[in-house]
Chains A and B, each alone.
Chain A
């Protein structure tokens, strides 16, 4: 019975619904800009991770390490590009 019922997937589904609701709250509540943005960013990235791990089955096949290495590599490059651009245009003008 345990194998037949996809606990992880259903849990993940509920969790992603919760994340969506949390993000939606920002619209209805009167948060300051940094607070609102932080909530949105955190929920968005957690949401993406949930999708990737639970529903796109990253890590379940033999090349799970390769997939995670790639994701990590992509995140590093994205962060570097964003931080670098901010450095050029905002922080060090």
Chain B
């Protein structure tokens, strides 16, 4: 019995028990459902063993939506707790756990897979490749992410959640002040998914550098590919820092190594330093692909080429470099001198310049265009003013002397939500709607999508703008309650209403998916949006080999050239296509990593060592495996192509979606 006591939740309450029951019920339902409909084989053959970048992208997408739900429920609990002074909904320990997991889930397990989803889905299509450079590594990346996410999410029912904030500052996160295994989960779950992220970064850079279609020079790549490329460059330079920091944190907690303790020669500030050396570039890892999606969407629905392509690329390169020069602005108040603060203050404000260039370039892309207000475009149009507000408050925070007053307050919370939600989440929802037909061959309902957008935007404004004010009025972040005398009550209630509206928006978006699966017409053709870049030059949904013949490209808008200027995209005859084999090893490695992580969290050394051996065994196995891939025959390609072409003919009469009158 003693052995099992460690798995108990240290701080239980009815909601946690209810979640336990729900988890068991849902898992049983899934298992029974799969068995009843005889889908186990399908699941294994088509999804668990897949190395196809499109399927991996879809799995990232589903995970991101699930994690958005989890993080969103956390957020609702937080806002409900703060909606009234002296509220007793959550006790302080629970509040601490909920805001810690909210932050980690949203950044690491929602935003990251969301951008990886689009990188996987779109980048190979935009550069005319058959798959990414290392398809099996790509599958391993996904399953490591999934293992990390699962490990992190079971923390609240087995052993307790992390409770030291998403930044997990030592010594608060050390064993002295954080006794449950929660912070072990933090260290190890993020470590596992972080390794996956690093490998995706390497994979994408190789893909983009080595596998572009003939004619596509670097300066002829579509903007989303450029954005993904720069984001991956940041990933490979930033994530190793996190890996090492987490490793040191793990050994501090498990083996008392005293890297970050305040006694025995440790240095607590070092954790903060490491964390933000990774943490600041991390936000640009998230925002650059989002910028890429906005560039695609705005250009498509303005009916114009992207204004200032070169300055767009240049500004992203500068942002990626500057992102490494600003991390100290997260702790201006840690006691370093005015000189250091001045240097980092100026470098931080400097980022506003390339970002401003991008904003004006988007505005100038709309200039003289022909703007269609589809759902993706609405998100992009909503993004510009809201993100500008988030950006300028960032410049305010960058003024280090004034930051002494903003730091650790709701003003800061308002600021970063103001950049991440309109910046990243809006972009992902725009991308979801825009690329939905690319993935599944039918459209999401525009009407419901627009309702979703308005609920989300208005909810966002109501939820976060009041925080700027309460922050300036002295409301610190992460306070689980406040007294009535502080006067924070009414504005926090407004924020709660806003959070509610955002929850409705989320429900509408999910409802839209189910509604569209049932009711949307299936024959939308290959170009439902009247789009411009290369990913639209193939069929919807994309066949497994992406392009029957390799495209030849002459500009960043290859598909537009083909449509309007008679550019010949596909030359020559259809030939055999070489594709990678599916493999179960990545999934198995993910499972072993999960077991390994779980064993480390609870210091169960025997299973930990056994599973580590298992991981190496998988790697050795791969080294000796002879796998030349497989060939798709010309007949098979022709059969697939003709199926698509006959579908296309039926549809030619139907006008383009979101046409002039919408």
Contacts and interface: CB of A to CB of B under 8 A. Distances in A.
A in complex with B: yes
Contacts of A77: 237, 321, 324
Interface residues of A, number: 15
A20 to B, nearest CB: 26
Contact of A80 (B209, B273, B324): B324
Interface in B310-330: 321, 324-325, 327-328
B209 A63 contact: yes
Interface stretch (A25-33, A45-53, A85-93): A85-93
B15 interface: no
A49 B269 CA distance: 33
A92 B336 contact: yes
B277 interface: yes
Nearest to A63: B209
Contact of A92 (B237, B321, B325, B337): B337
Interface string A56-79: 000000010010000001101100
Interface string A32-51: 00000000000000000000
Given A81-B277, A87-B343, A92-B340, A74 B237 contact: yes
A27 B325 CA distance: 37
A66 B206 CA distance: 11
B209 A88 contact: no
A11 interface: no
A87 B335 CA distance: 12
Contact of A84 (B233, B327, B339): B327
B425 to A, nearest CB: 28
A73 B328 CA distance: 20
B325 A80 contact: yes
A87 B341 CA distance: 10
Contacts of A76: 321
B237 A73 contact: yes
Contacts of B343: 87
Contact of B335 (A63, A66, A93): A93
B324 A88 contact: no
A80 B343 CA distance: 12
A92 B339 contact: yes
Contact of B209 (A66, A84, A85, A89): A66
B328 A88 contact: yes
Most buried by B among A63, A76, A89: A89
A64 to B, nearest CB: 13
Contacts of B335: 93
Given A87-B343, A89-B267, A92-B337, 7 more contacts: A66-B209, A73-B237, A73-B321, A77-B237, A81-B324, A84-B325, A87-B340
Interface of B: 209-210, 233, 237, 241, 267, 269-270, 273, 277, 321, 324-325, 327-328, 334-337, 339-340, 343-344
15 contacts: A73-B233, A80-B325, A81-B241, A81-B277, A81-B324, A85-B273, A85-B277, A87-B343, A88-B269, A88-B334, A88-B336, A89-B269, A92-B337, A92-B339, A92-B340
